[in-house]
């Protein structure tokens, strides 16, 4: 997959940028109005796809991660956000758990993204990413994250161009080919919600990890059974070989004797 071009909200190239001084006011620049109402909450804000610049909001937060990221994303089709996550995978100072949905991971674009990630860093990818389902084997429909234990995000927004309503024009929606679903994206900083949501994201990741381990175990057992079956077939063939050879020799002698008798017959 081609590496996406960075943008002003993507600060991966500037390690001095972090979430340690994050304030929700930092994101008002991405609203249609460019500011919040005077009565707006100081620890929770709701943004709207197709109206606010949700794609740059996500980049703003995620590119500033420097400590930890716990994320579960149902639809994962955004090249630039994926590049940000892979940059964090390569950072040994960042603890990450990324959970993705099994049904969505089989899609053409998402599968290509994940194959590319695994090819770039097989160990890092297998350490931080897991694909799975809910505990009762339904879709993993969560769409949210906790970044550095300080900033949370959750909503109906899938990571795709139409899911985020990615702007094609500078600072505003619209332009040729522009598409935006009806989605919401919250960003919050209240510590109770952050603590509980982080615990939930870890639990969902561990469930998917256990499912992946069970699949691998089943695959190993199936492979072992095939080996045992092949070995048994070889042993059976080897055991039958002397008897077959003996029978063939006997038949050859009998045929030769018959031919000899036929020659001597007057």
**pLDDT at position 3:** 52
pTM for the structure as a whole? 0.82
Going along the chain from its start, the domains and CATH numbers come out as: 24-219 (3.30.870.10)
14 has pLDDT over 60: yes
Tell me, what's the pLDDT at 8? Answer: 82
Res. 245: pLDDT tops 70: no
Secondary structure of the chain in HEC code, one letter for each residue: CCCCCCCCCCCCCCCCCCCCCCCHHHHHHHCCCCCCCCCCCCCEEEEEECCECHHHHHHHHHCCCCCEEEEEECCECCHHHHHHHHHHHCCCCCEEEEEEEHHHHCCHHHHHHHHHHHHHCHHHHHHHEEEECCCCCCCCCCEEEEECCCEEEEECCCECHHHHCCCCECCECCCCCCCCCCCEEEEECCHHHHHHHHHHHHHHHHHHHHHHHHHHHHHHHHHHHHHHHHHHHHHHHHHHHHHHHHHHHHHHHHHHHHHHHHHHCC
CA–CA gap between residue 151 and residue 58 (Å, rounded): 11
> What gap in Å lies between CA 131 and CA 107, rounded to an integer?
13
The gap from C-alpha 63 to its chain's centroid, in whole angstroms, comes to 18
Indicate whether 4 pLDDT > 60: no
Q: How confident is the model at residue 219 (pLDDT cuts 50, 70, 90)?
A: confident
97 contacts 163 by C-beta, under 8 angstroms: no
Lowest-confidence region among 74-88, 169-183, 214-228: 214-228
Task: Give the residue with greater pLDDT, 207 vs 232.
Answer: 207
Cα 82 versus chain centre, distance = 10
pLDDT band of residue 76 (cuts 50, 70, 90) is very high
pLDDT for position 218: 79
Q: Name the one residue in this structure whose structure tokens are 């994050």.
A: 22
**Residue 86 pLDDT > 70:** yes
- Whether the pLDDT of residue 6 is over 70: the answer is no
Position 222 scores a pLDDT of 84
In this structure, of 5-19, 38-52, 156-170, the range with the lowest mean pLDDT score is 5-19
> What is the pLDDT confidence band of residue 117, given thresholds at 50, 70 and 90?
very high
Longest Cα pair distance anywhere in the chain, in angstroms?
A: 126
- What mean pLDDT do residues 176-200 have? 97
**Predicted local distance difference test score (pLDDT) of residue 220:** 83
Q: What residues pair up with 7 in beta bridges, in sequence order?
A: none
In the structure, what pLDDT confidence band is assigned to residue 259 with cuts at 50, 70 and 90?
Answer: low
Average the pLDDT over 241-261 and give the result.
68
Q: What rounded mean pLDDT belongs to the chain?
A: 91
């Amino acid at each position: 997959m081609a590496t996406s071009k960075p943008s002003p909200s993507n600060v991966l190239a500037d390690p001095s940028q972090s979430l340690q001084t994050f304030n929700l006011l930092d994101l008002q620049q991405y609203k249609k109005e460019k500011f919040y109402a005077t009565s707006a909450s100081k620890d929770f804000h709701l943004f709207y796809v197709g109206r606010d610049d949700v794609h740059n909001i996500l980049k703003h937060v995620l590119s500033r991660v420097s400590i930890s990221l716990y994320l579960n994303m149902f639809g994962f089709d955004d090249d630039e956000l994926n590049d940000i996550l892979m940059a964090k995978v390569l950072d040994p100072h960042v603890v990450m758990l990324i959970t993705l949905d099994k049904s969505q991971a089989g899609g053409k674009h998402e599968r290509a993204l994940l194959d590319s990630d695994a090819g770039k860093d097989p160990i890092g990818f297998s350490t931080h990413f897991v694909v799975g389902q809910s505990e009762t084997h339904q879709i993993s429909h969560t769409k949210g994250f906790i970044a550095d234990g300080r900033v949370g995000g959750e909503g109906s927004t899938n990571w795709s161009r139409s899911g985020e309503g990615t702007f094609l024009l500078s600072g505003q929606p619209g332009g040729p080919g522009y598409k935006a679903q009806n989605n919401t994206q919250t960003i919050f900083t209240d510590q109770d919600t952050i603590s509980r949501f982080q615990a939930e994201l870890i639990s969902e990741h561990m469930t998917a990890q256990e499912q992946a381990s069970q699949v691998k175990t089943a695959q190993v057992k199936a492979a072992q059974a095939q080996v045992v079956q092949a070995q048994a077939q070889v042993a059976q063939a080897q055991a039958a070989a002397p008897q077959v050879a003996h029978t063939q020799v006997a038949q050859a002698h009998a045929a030769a004797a018959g031919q000899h008798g036929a020659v001597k017959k007057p």
